[in-house]
């Protein structure tokens, strides 16, 4: 158990809909990163939040957006869902911006039909 939690565990959405995924970071961790992991691939970096500010973004379109709250929990929002958005979405937290151990949550499995 890493102390990082995510909700929901599974989600089925229809193409064109919007979805919000949630993540609670491990106690004491102020940095949260979100990843998309397609089947058989490594996690792909979406973006990172440090003390409520976005600090780094991967190669994802603007319809992927996020928030970090004062308690360092975070949300990932995806608008206008596409079939290719079907994946495991992982959040990970670390205690600081660089060089620290990063722990993953259990993930949210999103299926877009």
Partner 1 sequence: QQPVQSPQAVILREGEDAVINCSSSKALYSVHWYRQKHGEAPVFLMILLKGGEQKGHDKISASFNEKKQQSSLYLTASQLSYSGTYFCGTEAGGAGSYQLTFGKGTKLSVIP
Q: Which of 9, 10, 42, 71 binds partner 1 (CB under 8 A)?
A: 42
Q: Which of 55, 65, 73, 86 binds partner 1 (CB under 8 A)?
A: 55
Based on the shown chain and the rule CB under 8 A, indicate whether residue 99 belongs to the binding site for partner 1. Answer: yes
Tokens of 8: 């929901």
Q: Which of 2, 5, 20, 65 binds partner 1 (CB under 8 A)?
A: 2
Which range, of 22-30, 33-41, 62-70, 75-83, touches partner 1 by CB under 8 A? 33-41
Local structure of 54: helix, strand or coil: strand
Burial of 45 (0-12, 13-18, 19+ CB in 10 A): middle
State the residues that interact with partner 1 by CB under 8 A.
Answer: 2, 33, 35, 41-45, 48, 55-56, 58, 90, 92, 97-107
């Amino acid at each position: 158990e890493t102390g990082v939690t995510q909700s929901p565990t599974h989600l089925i959405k229809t193409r064109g809909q919007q979805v919000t995924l949630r993540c609670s970071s491990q106690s004491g961790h102020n940095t949260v990163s979100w990843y998309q992991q397609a089947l058989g691939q490594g996690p792909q970096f979406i973006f990172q939040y440090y003390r409520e500010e976005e600090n780094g973004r991967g190669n994802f379109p603007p319809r992927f957006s996020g928030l970090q709250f004062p308690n360092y929990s975070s949300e990932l929002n995806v608008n206008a869902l596409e079939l290719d958005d079907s994946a495991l979405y992982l959040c990970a937290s670390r205690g600081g911006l660089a060089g620290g151990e990063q722990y993953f949550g259990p993930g949210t499995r999103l299926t877009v039909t």
